[in-house]
Amino acid sequence: MADVSLKSIRKSYGATEILHGIDLEVKDGEFVVFVGPSGCGKSTLLRIIAGLESITAGDLFIAGRRVNDVPPAARKIAMVFQSYALYPHMTVYKNMAFGLKFARTDRAEADRRVRRAAEILKLTPYLDRKPRDLSGGQRQRVAIGRAIVRNPSVFLFDEPLSNLDAALRVNTRVEIAKLHRELNATTIYVTHDQVEAMTLATKIVVMNQGRIEQVGSPLELYHAPRNLFVAGFIGSPRMNFVKGRVTAVTPEGVRVAHACGETLVAADAGHAGVGDTVTLGIRPEHMSEGEAEGLRLKGQVEAVEHLGEATYLYMKLTDGTDVVVRAPGDTAAVAGASLTIGASERSVHLFDAEGLALPRRGEAHPPRAAVA
Amino acid sequence: MSTIAATEEMAEDLAGRRGWPLHIVVFLAPAVLVYSLFSIYPLIDTIRLSLFTTDEAGLYHFVGLDNFGRLIGDPTWSGPFWNAFRNNLVFFAIHMVVQNGIGLGLAMLLSLPDLAGRNLYRTLIFLPTMLSVVIIGFIWQLMLSPLWGVAETFLGFFGLGGYFGPWLGQETTALATISLISVWQFIGIPMMLIYAALLNIPDDLVDAATVDGAGPFHVFWQVKLPLIVPTLGIVSILTFVANFNAFDLIYAVKGALAGPNFSTDILGTFFYRTFFGYQLQVGNPTMGATVATMMLMIILVGVLIYLFGVQRRLQRHTF
Amino acid sequence: MSLPLRPRRMAVHGALLLYTLIAIGPILLILLNAFKTRRAIFSDPLGFPDGRSFTLIGFDSVLEKSEFGLYFLNSLTVTVGSLALVVVFGAMAAWALTEYRFRGNTLLALYLAIGIMVPIRLGSVSILRMMVEFDLVNTLTALVLVYVAQGLPLAILILGEFMQQIPRDLRDAARCDGVSEYRIFFSIILPLVRQAIATVAVFTMVPIWNDLWFPLILAPGDGKQTVTLGVQQFIGQYVTDWNAVLASLTLAIAPILVLYVLFSRHLVRGLTAGAVK
């Protein structure tokens, strides 16, 4: 009913191009999260969908209709802004009803919708207050309420949680997920926080420098990142990268020489040949202390962070590479100690010289890698 | 509560910042001294003088509020006084409507997003405000002079040459003309203040209103304008104080007599004439002080109405 | 949506351009005609001076018949003198009021703010009496004293607002190093509020340079006239000498024009920073 379809969308300001041809299909009811570092163009893309920025080239369809030249209010969208953008001189009620006035909704219907939204968002006691008399979380909910009353086909969220404190952020995150389940409207959500992306999205769009790096479900991105950028961006602490060189291509996989020896990685070589530089990628949670079948690395522990349920070991390998290991909470490792660490060969990612992932064996299903 | 106060006091004691240590006195003394001596004392002394009168020998006699009674009731004083007061109200009204109205309009245009040449417009439109009122007065006197005929020629371009008249010289048009000259000079101030207030409105708010379906017209009337009402309040009170204290322009253009036939006389020129005298009339310091005190009270009433009646009801919006 | 944008923008520029012309037209007209012969002033007031109509005769007669150089020097002395004192005294007081907590702090701040709303001009009767008593009539000192008193309230307000934004840690760090309160002010705080001082300077300078009232009342003669008063007296005397009148106006405008070009950015920043609240 309300798919959003982007066909090679480009955006330039003068001579600088911000978006270099974005193609994307958002299906009805999906929760799509645009994630990427600041300046990657994700907010611009959202504002283009909202109609707040013009499109330099390409086509935008909402619910099958080309909307390039349709003003925001006629696109059946609603947007929640990072700063909430509540009208400071209007009460909560008026803030929510403001848009309905222009949509020529009749009074009784508008009133019904505002009250219903207030009920959903637990704002009923605050309807007569002004935004300045509300807490951050309440303001946030008013902003969402203002979007709900419009009955939009598509919800747009621009970093809505970044002004909240940590505890409230988690809370509101859960609320937004719940709301999406209830309303089942297409939602596009922008954030720079990969945890928000992973927890909320049915589909994540990773963006970098005005391009889409990868589109996929949260677990697809986690288990099968297409390139070094996505691999490094999704997951926390970020994936460790170790430089290596291909020494042999065998039916079992690719043999890679690195600072601490040689390892067989279960991956297709693709066009990579013997002698090529490659990068090994191992997530901290897939590494463990001691010898393991597969990858073996040696280094010195430089710092230890105890989190309770786990301990992060910050290590420097013999060739100077920095590596983080997620060890069990009760590890005996101390700063200064020399340590051997390992990871199963199935949990090792391999990237070629251009940074593109070499397909791992048995990729059809995300590998059930040993989680330390 | 009391424990907090106590700890604060302790902290102050520790920092040695209670009472009046020498360095505080040194920092404050020059400003307080000059300001008190040449600003506050003269104002108070003026109020005191307004309660006295002088005789031929130059001796001062206390007369209570008699001077004020004469100013308001005695026809020789009250005629000119009420005339000046009325003219001053007209002067103020023209500023409020024309100066602040056009200022608001210009600020609105200047604050449009991605406006090319914004800074140049702003700088040039503000330019007259920087010049001396006296200079401005003479410039317009020349421009409007039938002798030179520039204004007439100019109107002629639009086929309006016939409408030209010696506006500064006619009793019916002089005050409005002078007011408009002053408006022309000071329009930059409301423009700048309102422009700054408009810039302070976050873009998100305008975007939100756009998504809500409000066009530029509704965005202005229903979102922007209500948010800059506090600034409009400040602009109004600044206009009020400046207008009821004006003098230079009228003195430069029309002289102390504020002709023709006192039609451009406002409180500032009336004060000057009373204090210094003119033609055959000798100056009267105590009546001058009385006029000044009246002006002070008018300004004070205006400021108080603003502070307690208007400003309290206007909430400032923080974004 | 994109179509009506262009004509609308043109209309906006049209309106702004029109008003800009109204704003600077009269000033340009004066500057233009100051360099023309009397005949050209009247026959072609809107034309540029050319080889035949160009003349400096007006400037010659102004410089000859009046002591314009002296007036200029007077204005400069008064303005610069007042400005220096306003900045130094104002900054010191603003610092004491924002930094130190002492009994009567708020009250004193309010007292010093009265002058923002109440024009000192209304105390002229007493000011003149005082100046007569101190034997300061027809001196530049009288003007400087009055202008300092007039400029201080706004200066203290603006500087105080800026000083409040200086991080506390900075001064506390200096105190921990045993730096004296005077040194903290002069070598740490003053340099940090340079921006604000520039704003204060513009706000203080312009009204002083342009003032007619106090020169008229306190120093109307004895060669102590400022430019504004000097021009006013000169024009009153030579109304019919159009060349001289236009030239004297031009001479009075020129310094402000130069200053404005140099400092307009500070002024605009001061105004748009909401310094005048």
pLDDT of B98-122, one tens digit each?
Answer: 999 999 999 999 988 778 888 889 9
Q: Please indicate if any CB of chain A lies within 8 Å of the CB of C1.
A: yes
CATH number for the domain that contains residue C197? 1.10.3720.10
Same domain, A91 and A213: yes
* Mean pLDDT, rounded, for B7-35: 71
Q: What is the pLDDT of residues B180-202, one digit of tens each?
A: 999 999 999 899 889 988 988 89
DSSP A252: T
Q: Does the pLDDT value for residue C51 go beyond 60?
A: yes
Same domain, C44 and C95: no
How many structural domains are present in chain A? 2
Same domain, A57 and A198: yes
Residue C1: list chain A partners with CB under 8 A: 69-71
- pLDDT (0 to 100) of residue C272: 64
Domain interval for residue A339: 237-351
CB contact under 8 A, C102 and B17: yes
Same domain, C36 and C118: no
Q: What is the pLDDT of residues C183-201, one digit of tens each?
A: 889 888 888 888 888 888 8
Return the SS3 of A190.
Answer: strand
How many whole angstroms separate alpha carbon A48 and alpha carbon A68? 9
* Mean pLDDT, rounded, for A281-303: 87
How many whole angstroms separate alpha carbon B141 and alpha carbon B151? 10
Same domain, C190 and C84: yes
Q: Does the pLDDT value for residue C273 go beyond 90?
A: no
Q: Please indicate if any CB of chain B lies within 8 Å of the CB of A13.
A: no
Q: How far is CA A90 from CA A97, A120, B263, C140, C162, in A?
A: 10, 21, 47, 55, 32
Q: Does the pLDDT value for residue A204 go beyond 70?
A: yes
Residue of B43, B154, B257, B274 to mutate, interface with C, max C Cβ within 10 Å: B43
How many structural domains are present in chain C? 2
Q: How far is CA C259 from CA A96, C205, C209, C250, C266, in A?
A: 50, 10, 11, 14, 11
Return the SS3 of A256.
Answer: strand
DSSP A88: T
Which residue do the tokens 């402000």 mark? C256
Same domain, C46 and C24: yes
Structure tokens belonging to residue B203:
């873009």
Structure tokens belonging to residue C41:
């002033």
Residue A280 lies in a domain: yes
Residue C218 lies in a domain: yes
How many whole angstroms separate alpha carbon A64 and alpha carbon A41? 24
Of the pLDDT bands very low, low, confident and very high (cuts 50, 70, 90), residue A362 is: low
Given a contact cutoff of 8 angstroms between Cβ atoms, the answer to whether C189 and C33 are in contact is no
* Mean pLDDT, rounded, for C33-55: 84
Q: Please indicate if any CB of chain B lies within 8 Å of the CB of A89.
A: yes
Q: Please indicate if any CB of chain B lies within 8 Å of the CB of C48.
A: no
* Mean pLDDT, rounded, for A50-64: 93
Same domain, A308 and A215: no
Tell me the residues of chain C between 55 and 74 that have a Cβ less than 8 Å away from chain B: none
* Mean pLDDT, rounded, for B131-135: 87
Of the pLDDT bands very low, low, confident and very high (cuts 50, 70, 90), residue A221 is: very high
- pLDDT (0 to 100) of residue A217: 94
pTM over 0.90: no
CB contact under 8 A, C2 and A70: no
Same domain, A50 and A158: yes
Same domain, A40 and A162: yes
CATH number for the domain that contains residue A143? 3.40.50.300
Residue C261 lies in a domain: no
- pLDDT (0 to 100) of residue A365: 43
Same domain, C99 and C13: no
Q: Please indicate if any CB of chain A lies within 8 Å of the CB of C2.
A: yes
Q: Does the pLDDT value for residue C255 go beyond 90?
A: no
Q: How far is CA B235 from CA B96, B238, C113, C203, C210, in A?
A: 9, 5, 18, 17, 22
Rg (CA), chain A: 24
Q: What are phi and psi of B292, to 5 degrees?
A: -60, -40
- pLDDT (0 to 100) of residue C174: 83
Q: Does the pLDDT value for residue B4 go beyond 50?
A: no
What strands, in cross-sheet order, belong to the sheet with A65-66? A16-26, A4-13, A57-62, A65-66
- pLDDT (0 to 100) of residue B19: 55
Chains with ≥3 CB–CB distances under 8 Å to C: A, B
CB contact under 8 A, C228 and B184: no
Domain interval for residue C19: 5-55
Same domain, C44 and C70: no
Same domain, A265 and A345: yes
- pLDDT (0 to 100) of residue B5: 44
First to last CA, chain C: 38
Core vs surface per residue C231-251: b (16+ CB within 10 A) or e = bbbbbeebeebbbbbbbbbbb
Same domain, A183 and A125: yes
CB contact under 8 A, A51 and B205: no
Average pLDDT, chain A: 89
Residue C245 lies in a domain: no
Tell me the residues of chain B between 268 and 287 that have a Cβ less than 8 Å away from chain C: 271, 275-276, 285
- pLDDT (0 to 100) of residue A371: 35
- pLDDT (0 to 100) of residue C1: 39
Same domain, C130 and C43: no
Residue C42 lies in a domain: yes
Residue A4: left if φ>0, alpha if ψ -120 to 50, beta else—which one? beta
Same domain, A185 and A255: no
CB contact under 8 A, C92 and B112: no
- pLDDT (0 to 100) of residue B319: 63
**Strand extents, DSSP E, B247-299:** 277-278, 281-282
Residue of C126, C183, C186 to mutate, interface with B, max B Cβ within 10 Å: C126
* Mean pLDDT, rounded, for B155-167: 79
Residue A369 lies in a domain: no
- ipTM here: 0.87
Given a contact cutoff of 8 angstroms between Cβ atoms, the answer to whether A254 and A272 are in contact is yes
Q: Tell me the HSE value of A94 on the side-chain side, using a 13 A CA sphere.
A: 11
Q: What is the sign of the dihedral through the CA atoms of C92, C93, C98 and C104?
A: positive
Q: For C213, which of B35, B139, B248 is closest by C-beta distance?
A: B248
How many whole angstroms separate alpha carbon B51 and alpha carbon B47? 7
Residues above pLDDT 90, as percent of chain B = 42
Same domain, C42 and C137: no
Residue of B201, B206, B211, B314 to mutate, interface with A, max A Cβ within 10 Å: B211
Domain boundary among A182, A199, A229: A229
Q: Please indicate if any CB of chain C lies within 8 Å of the CB of B152.
A: no
Q: What is the sign of the dihedral through the CA atoms of B252, B255, B261 and B262?
A: positive
Q: Does the pLDDT value for residue C109 go beyond 70?
A: yes
Same domain, C133 and C19: no
Chains with ≥3 CB–CB distances under 8 Å to B: A, C
- Between C160 and B1, the more confident residue is C160
Please confirm whether the linkage preceding B260 is cis (ω < 30° from 0): yes
Q: For B131, which of C96, C185, C253 is closest by C-beta distance?
A: C253
* Mean pLDDT, rounded, for B157-172: 81
Residue C108 lies in a domain: yes
Residue of C nearest to A68 (CA): C1
CB contact under 8 A, A83 and B319: yes
- pLDDT (0 to 100) of residue B150: 81
- pLDDT (0 to 100) of residue B7: 44
Of the pLDDT bands very low, low, confident and very high (cuts 50, 70, 90), residue A216 is: very high
Residue A365 lies in a domain: no
Which residue do the tokens 């609308």 mark? C8
Q: Does the pLDDT value for residue A368 go beyond 60?
A: no
Q: Does the pLDDT value for residue A126 go beyond 90?
A: yes
To the question of domain B75-311 being in CATH 1.10.10.10, the answer is no
Q: Does the pLDDT value for residue A158 go beyond 70?
A: yes
Q: Does the pLDDT value for residue B92 go beyond 80?
A: yes
Same domain, A26 and A105: yes
Residue of B23, B33, B35, B158 to mutate, interface with C, max C Cβ within 10 Å: B35
Residue A368 lies in a domain: no
- pLDDT (0 to 100) of residue C103: 85
- pLDDT (0 to 100) of residue C83: 94
Residue C270 lies in a domain: no
Q: Does the pLDDT value for residue B13 go beyond 60?
A: no
Domain boundary among A200, A229, A258: A229
Residue C112 neighbours by CB distance under 10 Å: 26
Q: Does the pLDDT value for residue B84 go beyond 50?
A: yes
Return the SS3 of B221.
Answer: helix
Which residue do the tokens 């992973």 mark? A198
Residue C5: list chain A partners with CB under 8 A: none
The domains of chain B are located at 75-311
- Lowest mean pLDDT segment, chosen from B56-70, B151-165, C84-98: B151-165
Of the pLDDT bands very low, low, confident and very high (cuts 50, 70, 90), residue B9 is: very low
Pairing of strands A186-191, A31-35: parallel
Q: What are phi and psi of A127, to 5 degrees?
A: -60, -30
Same domain, A335 and A285: yes
Same domain, C48 and C118: no
Same domain, C38 and C85: no
Angle at B69 between CA B63 and CA B70, to 5 degrees: 90
Same domain, A199 and A271: no
Same domain, A187 and A263: no
How many whole angstroms separate alpha carbon B145 and alpha carbon C216? 26
Closest Cα in chain C, distance from residue B73 (Å): 22
- pLDDT (0 to 100) of residue A1: 57
Residues above pLDDT 90, as percent of chain C = 31
Same domain, C195 and C229: yes
Q: Please indicate if any CB of chain A lies within 8 Å of the CB of B225.
A: no
Q: Please indicate if any CB of chain C lies within 8 Å of the CB of A70.
A: yes
Residues whose CB is less than 8 angstroms from the CB of residue C209 and which lie 6 or more positions away in sequence, other chains included: B132, C75, C79, C226, C227, C228, C255, C256
